[in-house]
Copies of this chain bind each other. A is one copy, B any other.
Protein backbone atom coordinates (compact mmCIF):
# COMPACT_ATOMS: atom_id res chain seq x y z
CA UNK A 1 0.00 0.00 0.00
CA UNK A 2 2.98 2.29 -0.68
CA UNK A 3 2.75 5.87 -1.95
CA UNK A 4 -0.94 6.49 -2.33
CA UNK A 5 -1.94 10.05 -3.17
CA UNK A 6 -4.76 12.23 -1.86
CA UNK A 7 -7.72 11.67 -4.17
CA UNK A 8 -10.77 13.00 -2.33
CA UNK A 9 -11.34 15.83 0.14
CA UNK A 10 -14.22 16.08 2.63
CA UNK A 11 -14.92 19.61 3.83
CA UNK A 12 -17.14 20.86 6.65
CA UNK A 13 -17.51 24.62 6.80
CA UNK A 14 -14.10 26.08 5.96
CA UNK A 15 -12.07 23.15 7.27
CA UNK A 16 -10.83 20.03 5.51
CA UNK A 17 -12.30 17.31 7.74
CA UNK A 18 -11.19 14.11 5.97
CA UNK A 19 -8.94 12.99 3.14
CA UNK A 20 -9.08 9.74 1.18
CA UNK A 21 -5.95 8.41 -0.48
CA UNK A 22 -5.58 5.82 -3.16
CA UNK A 23 -4.27 4.57 -6.47
CA UNK A 24 -5.91 4.92 -9.88
CA UNK A 25 -4.86 3.72 -13.32
CA UNK A 26 -6.20 4.37 -16.82
CA UNK A 27 -4.97 1.77 -19.29
CA UNK A 28 -5.27 1.39 -23.06
CA UNK A 29 -5.81 -1.79 -25.05
CA UNK A 30 -2.08 -2.41 -25.41
CA UNK A 31 -1.81 -2.55 -21.61
CA UNK A 32 0.01 0.77 -21.48
CA UNK A 33 -0.72 3.15 -18.62
CA UNK A 34 -2.36 6.27 -20.09
CA UNK A 35 -2.55 8.01 -16.72
CA UNK A 36 -1.94 7.02 -13.13
CA UNK A 37 -2.22 8.48 -9.64
CA UNK A 38 -0.41 6.78 -6.79
CA UNK A 39 1.35 3.50 -7.54
CA UNK A 40 -0.09 1.44 -10.44
CA UNK A 41 1.77 -1.63 -9.18
CA UNK A 42 -0.08 -1.71 -5.85
CA UNK A 43 -1.47 -5.19 -5.28
CA UNK A 44 -5.03 -5.41 -3.99
CA UNK A 45 -8.19 -7.48 -4.15
CA UNK A 46 -10.61 -6.34 -6.85
CA UNK A 47 -13.48 -7.70 -4.77
CA UNK A 48 -16.81 -7.39 -6.62
CA UNK A 49 -15.36 -5.08 -9.27
CA UNK A 50 -14.16 -8.17 -11.19
CA UNK A 51 -17.48 -10.00 -11.45
CA UNK A 52 -17.49 -9.63 -15.24
CA UNK A 53 -14.17 -11.52 -15.25
CA UNK A 54 -15.66 -14.22 -13.02
CA UNK A 55 -18.51 -14.52 -15.54
CA UNK A 56 -16.21 -15.16 -18.53
CA UNK A 57 -16.03 -18.96 -18.04
CA UNK A 58 -19.83 -19.10 -17.85
CA UNK A 59 -20.04 -17.90 -21.46
CA UNK A 60 -16.76 -19.28 -22.86
CA UNK A 61 -17.74 -22.79 -21.75
CA UNK A 62 -21.07 -22.57 -23.54
CA UNK A 63 -22.86 -23.11 -20.23
CA UNK A 64 -24.48 -19.68 -20.47
CA UNK A 65 -25.31 -19.67 -24.18
CA UNK A 66 -29.02 -19.57 -23.39
CA UNK A 67 -28.82 -16.79 -20.80
CA UNK A 68 -30.53 -13.47 -21.44
CA UNK A 69 -28.73 -10.11 -21.24
CA UNK A 70 -30.68 -9.51 -18.00
CA UNK A 71 -29.18 -12.66 -16.51
CA UNK A 72 -25.70 -11.67 -17.67
CA UNK A 73 -26.12 -8.24 -16.03
CA UNK A 74 -27.13 -10.03 -12.81
CA UNK A 75 -24.08 -12.32 -13.05
CA UNK A 76 -21.94 -9.15 -12.96
CA UNK A 77 -24.03 -7.45 -10.25
CA UNK A 78 -23.69 -6.43 -6.64
CA UNK A 79 -27.40 -5.88 -6.38
CA UNK A 80 -29.61 -4.32 -3.75
CA UNK A 81 -31.76 -7.40 -3.21
CA UNK A 82 -34.80 -5.56 -4.56
CA UNK A 83 -37.66 -7.50 -6.08
CA UNK A 84 -36.37 -6.77 -9.61
CA UNK A 85 -33.21 -8.64 -8.67
CA UNK A 86 -34.46 -11.45 -6.48
CA UNK A 87 -37.43 -12.31 -8.73
CA UNK A 88 -35.07 -12.83 -11.66
CA UNK A 89 -32.50 -14.79 -9.69
CA UNK A 90 -35.24 -17.03 -8.23
CA UNK A 91 -36.53 -17.71 -11.76
CA UNK A 92 -32.96 -18.53 -12.82
CA UNK A 93 -32.69 -21.01 -9.92
CA UNK A 94 -36.00 -22.54 -11.02
CA UNK A 95 -34.61 -22.95 -14.54
CA UNK A 96 -31.67 -24.83 -13.04
CA UNK A 97 -34.03 -27.02 -11.01
CA UNK A 98 -32.42 -25.71 -7.82
CA UNK A 99 -33.54 -23.92 -4.66
CA UNK A 100 -32.03 -21.25 -2.44
CA UNK A 101 -30.18 -23.98 -0.52
CA UNK A 102 -27.90 -24.59 -3.50
CA UNK A 103 -26.29 -21.20 -3.00
CA UNK A 104 -23.06 -20.87 -1.04
CA UNK A 105 -23.10 -17.07 -0.74
CA UNK A 106 -24.89 -16.79 2.59
CA UNK A 107 -27.95 -14.70 3.47
CA UNK A 108 -27.80 -10.91 3.47
CA UNK A 109 -30.35 -8.28 4.47
CA UNK A 110 -31.24 -6.40 1.25
CA UNK A 111 -29.88 -2.89 0.80
CA UNK A 112 -33.12 -2.02 -0.99
CA UNK A 113 -35.35 -0.27 1.52
CA UNK A 114 -38.66 -1.70 0.36
CA UNK A 115 -37.31 -5.24 0.30
CA UNK A 116 -35.67 -4.82 3.70
CA UNK A 117 -38.72 -3.27 5.32
CA UNK A 118 -40.89 -5.96 3.77
CA UNK A 119 -38.83 -8.66 5.48
CA UNK A 120 -38.91 -6.78 8.78
CA UNK A 121 -42.68 -6.28 8.62
CA UNK A 122 -43.19 -9.96 7.81
CA UNK A 123 -40.72 -10.93 10.55
CA UNK A 124 -38.73 -12.92 7.99
CA UNK A 125 -35.01 -13.45 7.67
CA UNK A 126 -33.25 -12.78 4.37
CA UNK A 127 -32.40 -15.75 2.13
CA UNK A 128 -29.29 -16.34 0.07
CA UNK A 129 -31.08 -14.98 -3.01
CA UNK A 130 -31.04 -11.59 -1.25
CA UNK A 131 -27.24 -11.68 -1.09
CA UNK A 132 -25.88 -8.96 -3.38
CA UNK A 133 -23.81 -11.65 -5.14
CA UNK A 134 -26.69 -14.06 -5.85
CA UNK A 135 -26.58 -13.37 -9.61
CA UNK A 136 -22.88 -14.22 -9.71
CA UNK A 137 -23.60 -17.39 -7.78
CA UNK A 138 -26.47 -18.29 -10.15
CA UNK A 139 -23.81 -18.07 -12.86
CA UNK A 140 -21.47 -20.30 -10.85
CA UNK A 141 -24.30 -22.83 -10.41
CA UNK A 142 -25.06 -22.75 -14.14
CA UNK A 143 -21.43 -23.52 -14.96
CA UNK A 144 -21.30 -26.18 -12.23
CA UNK A 145 -24.29 -27.97 -13.77
CA UNK A 146 -22.78 -27.72 -17.25
CA UNK A 147 -19.51 -29.22 -15.98
CA UNK A 148 -21.36 -31.86 -13.94
CA UNK A 149 -19.14 -30.76 -11.06
CA UNK A 150 -19.70 -30.97 -7.31
CA UNK A 151 -22.02 -28.70 -5.35
CA UNK A 152 -19.19 -27.00 -3.46
CA UNK A 153 -18.64 -24.58 -6.33
CA UNK A 154 -17.19 -21.86 -4.07
CA UNK A 155 -14.05 -23.79 -3.14
CA UNK A 156 -10.74 -22.79 -4.70
CA UNK A 157 -10.07 -26.27 -6.19
CA UNK A 158 -13.51 -26.58 -7.79
CA UNK A 159 -13.47 -26.52 -11.62
CA UNK A 160 -15.60 -23.33 -11.61
CA UNK A 161 -13.12 -21.45 -9.44
CA UNK A 162 -10.15 -22.83 -11.32
CA UNK A 163 -11.70 -21.54 -14.55
CA UNK A 164 -12.30 -18.15 -12.93
CA UNK A 165 -8.70 -18.01 -11.74
CA UNK A 166 -7.35 -18.84 -15.19
CA UNK A 167 -9.53 -16.19 -16.82
CA UNK A 168 -8.54 -13.65 -14.18
CA UNK A 169 -4.83 -14.24 -14.66
CA UNK A 170 -5.13 -14.15 -18.43
CA UNK A 171 -7.05 -10.87 -18.70
CA UNK A 172 -5.01 -9.11 -16.01
CA UNK A 173 -1.87 -10.60 -17.61
CA UNK A 174 -0.52 -11.34 -14.14
CA UNK A 175 0.03 -14.37 -11.97
CA UNK A 176 -2.12 -13.63 -8.97
CA UNK A 177 0.14 -13.77 -5.89
CA UNK A 178 -2.60 -14.51 -3.39
CA UNK A 179 -6.32 -14.99 -3.04
CA UNK A 180 -8.71 -14.04 -0.28
CA UNK A 181 -12.19 -15.26 0.55
CA UNK A 182 -14.82 -12.73 -0.38
CA UNK A 183 -17.95 -11.72 1.51
CA UNK A 184 -19.89 -14.27 -0.56
CA UNK A 185 -17.34 -17.07 0.15
CA UNK A 186 -15.93 -17.17 -3.40
CA UNK A 187 -12.16 -16.84 -3.88
CA UNK A 188 -11.05 -13.35 -4.88
CA UNK A 189 -7.67 -13.18 -6.60
CA UNK A 190 -5.35 -10.24 -5.99
CA UNK A 191 -3.74 -8.26 -8.80
CA UNK A 192 -2.16 -4.86 -9.33
CA UNK A 193 -4.36 -1.85 -9.96
CA UNK A 194 -2.59 -1.73 -13.34
CA UNK A 195 -3.52 -5.35 -14.04
CA UNK A 196 -7.15 -4.67 -13.19
CA UNK A 197 -7.21 -1.63 -15.52
CA UNK A 198 -5.56 -3.74 -18.24
CA UNK A 199 -8.29 -6.36 -17.86
CA UNK A 200 -10.92 -3.64 -18.22
CA UNK A 201 -9.23 -2.38 -21.41
CA UNK A 202 -9.51 -5.99 -22.68
CA UNK A 203 -13.26 -5.78 -22.07
CA UNK A 204 -13.41 -2.29 -23.61
CA UNK A 205 -11.91 -3.50 -26.89
CA UNK A 206 -13.60 -6.91 -27.01
CA UNK A 207 -15.92 -5.80 -29.81
CA UNK A 208 -12.89 -5.55 -32.14
CA UNK A 209 -12.09 -9.22 -31.81
CA UNK A 210 -13.91 -12.42 -32.69
CA UNK A 211 -12.38 -14.99 -30.35
CA UNK A 212 -14.56 -16.82 -27.84
CA UNK A 213 -13.33 -14.88 -24.79
CA UNK A 214 -13.73 -11.50 -26.47
CA UNK A 215 -17.23 -12.44 -27.53
CA UNK A 216 -18.03 -13.27 -23.92
CA UNK A 217 -16.47 -10.03 -22.69
CA UNK A 218 -18.44 -7.99 -25.20
CA UNK A 219 -21.74 -9.66 -24.26
CA UNK A 220 -21.13 -9.02 -20.54
CA UNK A 221 -20.16 -5.38 -21.04
CA UNK A 222 -23.21 -4.79 -23.24
CA UNK A 223 -25.51 -6.43 -20.72
CA UNK A 224 -24.19 -4.24 -17.88
CA UNK A 225 -24.69 -1.07 -19.92
CA UNK A 226 -28.16 -2.16 -21.07
CA UNK A 227 -29.46 -3.02 -17.58
CA UNK A 228 -27.85 -0.59 -15.12
CA UNK A 229 -30.68 -1.18 -12.62
CA UNK A 230 -29.83 -4.89 -12.45
CA UNK A 231 -26.11 -4.31 -11.81
CA UNK A 232 -26.77 -2.45 -8.53
CA UNK A 233 -30.19 -0.81 -7.96
CA UNK A 234 -31.97 2.47 -7.27
CA UNK A 235 -29.84 5.14 -5.53
CA UNK A 236 -26.63 3.24 -6.22
CA UNK A 237 -23.61 4.75 -8.00
CA UNK A 238 -23.20 1.98 -10.61
CA UNK A 239 -26.82 2.29 -11.67
CA UNK A 240 -27.13 6.07 -11.63
CA UNK A 241 -23.82 6.73 -13.37
CA UNK A 242 -24.36 4.06 -16.06
CA UNK A 243 -27.81 5.52 -16.74
CA UNK A 244 -26.25 8.98 -17.02
CA UNK A 245 -23.69 7.69 -19.54
CA UNK A 246 -26.36 5.88 -21.56
CA UNK A 247 -24.24 3.08 -22.98
CA UNK A 248 -20.90 4.86 -23.10
CA UNK A 249 -19.32 2.87 -20.26
CA UNK A 250 -19.84 -0.08 -17.96
CA UNK A 251 -18.74 0.49 -14.37
CA UNK A 252 -18.62 -1.69 -11.27
CA UNK A 253 -17.92 -1.11 -7.62
CA UNK A 254 -16.03 -3.44 -5.29
CA UNK A 255 -15.91 -3.57 -1.51
CA UNK A 256 -13.18 -1.72 0.38
CA UNK A 257 -12.87 1.16 -2.04
CA UNK A 258 -12.46 -0.42 -5.48
CA UNK A 259 -14.09 0.79 -8.71
CA UNK A 260 -13.56 -0.07 -12.36
CA UNK A 261 -14.75 1.33 -15.68
CA UNK A 262 -14.90 -0.19 -19.16
CA UNK A 263 -15.07 2.51 -21.85
CA UNK A 264 -15.49 0.89 -25.29
CA UNK A 265 -15.71 4.12 -27.29
CA UNK A 266 -12.40 5.33 -25.84
CA UNK A 267 -10.81 1.86 -25.81
CA UNK A 268 -9.87 2.45 -22.16
CA UNK A 269 -10.04 0.55 -18.90
CA UNK A 270 -9.93 2.20 -15.48
CA UNK A 271 -9.27 0.72 -12.04
CA UNK A 272 -8.89 2.42 -8.69
CA UNK A 273 -8.41 1.50 -5.05
CA UNK A 274 -9.03 3.81 -2.10
CA UNK A 275 -6.47 2.83 0.53
CA UNK A 276 -8.86 3.12 3.46
CA UNK A 277 -11.67 1.26 1.70
CA UNK A 278 -14.20 4.13 1.63
CA UNK A 279 -17.02 3.76 -0.87
CA UNK A 280 -17.84 7.48 -0.86
CA UNK A 281 -14.32 8.12 -2.13
CA UNK A 282 -14.20 5.37 -4.76
CA UNK A 283 -17.48 6.69 -6.16
CA UNK A 284 -16.19 10.27 -6.25
CA UNK A 285 -13.00 9.26 -8.06
CA UNK A 286 -14.67 7.04 -10.67
CA UNK A 287 -17.16 9.82 -11.43
CA UNK A 288 -14.30 12.30 -11.77
CA UNK A 289 -12.38 10.02 -14.14
CA UNK A 290 -15.46 9.30 -16.25
CA UNK A 291 -15.90 13.08 -16.61
CA UNK A 292 -12.21 13.53 -17.33
CA UNK A 293 -12.30 10.95 -20.11
CA UNK A 294 -15.37 12.47 -21.71
CA UNK A 295 -18.07 9.87 -21.16
CA UNK A 296 -19.93 11.50 -18.26
CA UNK A 297 -21.31 15.04 -18.32
CA UNK A 298 -19.91 16.89 -15.28
CA UNK A 299 -23.18 18.76 -14.96
CA UNK A 300 -25.37 15.66 -14.84
CA UNK A 301 -27.05 15.35 -11.42
CA UNK A 302 -25.74 11.78 -11.06
CA UNK A 303 -22.18 13.00 -11.67
CA UNK A 304 -22.52 15.87 -9.20
CA UNK A 305 -24.08 13.57 -6.61
CA UNK A 306 -20.96 11.38 -6.54
CA UNK A 307 -18.18 13.80 -7.48
CA UNK A 308 -19.17 16.96 -5.60
CA UNK A 309 -21.93 15.89 -3.22
CA UNK A 310 -23.13 18.36 -0.63
CA UNK A 311 -22.99 16.95 2.90
CA UNK A 312 -26.35 17.56 4.56
CA UNK A 313 -27.35 17.09 8.16
CA UNK A 314 -30.53 15.72 9.71
CA UNK A 315 -32.42 18.91 9.02
CA UNK A 316 -31.15 18.89 5.42
CA UNK A 317 -28.88 21.85 6.14
CA UNK A 318 -25.78 21.80 3.92
CA UNK A 319 -22.83 21.51 6.29
CA UNK A 320 -20.04 20.65 3.86
CA UNK A 321 -19.12 18.95 0.62
CA UNK A 322 -16.83 16.40 -0.97
CA UNK A 323 -14.62 17.04 -3.99
CA UNK A 324 -11.99 15.24 -6.04
CA UNK A 325 -8.44 16.35 -5.17
CA UNK A 326 -6.83 18.88 -7.52
CA UNK A 327 -4.34 16.22 -8.65
CA UNK A 328 -7.14 14.58 -10.67
CA UNK A 329 -7.12 17.69 -12.88
CA UNK A 330 -10.80 18.56 -12.94
Q: Which residue of B lies closest to A106 (CB)?
A: B314
For residue A175, CB closer than 8 A to chain B, the reply is: no
Q: Which of A111-130 contact B (CB under 8 A)?
A: 117, 120-121
For residue A101, CB closer than 8 A to chain B, the reply is: no
- B314/A105 in contact, CB under 8 A: yes
Chain A window 76-111, contacts with chain B (Cβ cutoff 8 Å), 1 for yes, 0 for no: 000000000000000000000000000011111000
What B residues does A319 contact at CB under 8 A?
Answer: 180-183
- A256/B10 in contact, CB under 8 A: yes
What B residues does A15 contact at CB under 8 A?
Answer: 43-45, 177-178, 180, 190
Q: Which residue of B lies closest to A116 (CB)?
A: B120
What B residues does A320 contact at CB under 8 A?
Answer: 180
For residue A16, CB closer than 8 A to chain B, the reply is: yes
For residue A315, CB closer than 8 A to chain B, the reply is: yes
Identical subunits present:
2
What B residues does A178 contact at CB under 8 A?
Answer: 13-15
Q: Which residue of B lies closest to A275 (CB)?
A: B19
CB < 8 Å neighbour of A17 from B45, B104, B117: B45
Cα–Cα distance between A104 and B182 once the two chains are bound (Å): 43
- B18/A277 in contact, CB under 8 A: yes
Interface residues on A, range: 35 or more
Chain A window 3-29, contacts with chain B (Cβ cutoff 8 Å), 1 for yes, 0 for no: 000000010111111111100000000
- A313/B106 in contact, CB under 8 A: yes
Cα–Cα distance between A179 and B320 once the two chains are bound (Å): 12
For residue A131, CB closer than 8 A to chain B, the reply is: yes
Q: Which residue of B lies closest to A311 (CB)?
A: B183
For residue A317, CB closer than 8 A to chain B, the reply is: yes
For residue A278, CB closer than 8 A to chain B, the reply is: yes
Cα–Cα distance between A314 and B177 once the two chains are bound (Å): 25
Q: Would you mind naming 18 contact pairs between A and B with Cβ atoms under 8 Å apart?
A: A1-B19, A10-B277, A12-B188, A13-B181, A15-B178, A17-B44, A17-B45, A17-B256, A17-B277, A106-B313, A183-B313, A184-B313, A184-B314, A185-B313, A275-B276, A276-B276, A276-B278, A276-B281
Interface residue ranges, A against B (CB under 8 Å): 1, 10, 12-21, 43-45, 104-108, 117, 120-121, 131, 177-185, 188, 190, 256-257, 275-278, 281, 313-317, 319-320
7 tightest A-B contacts by CB?
Answer: A106-B314, A13-B180, A276-B276, A106-B315, A12-B180, A18-B277, A181-B319
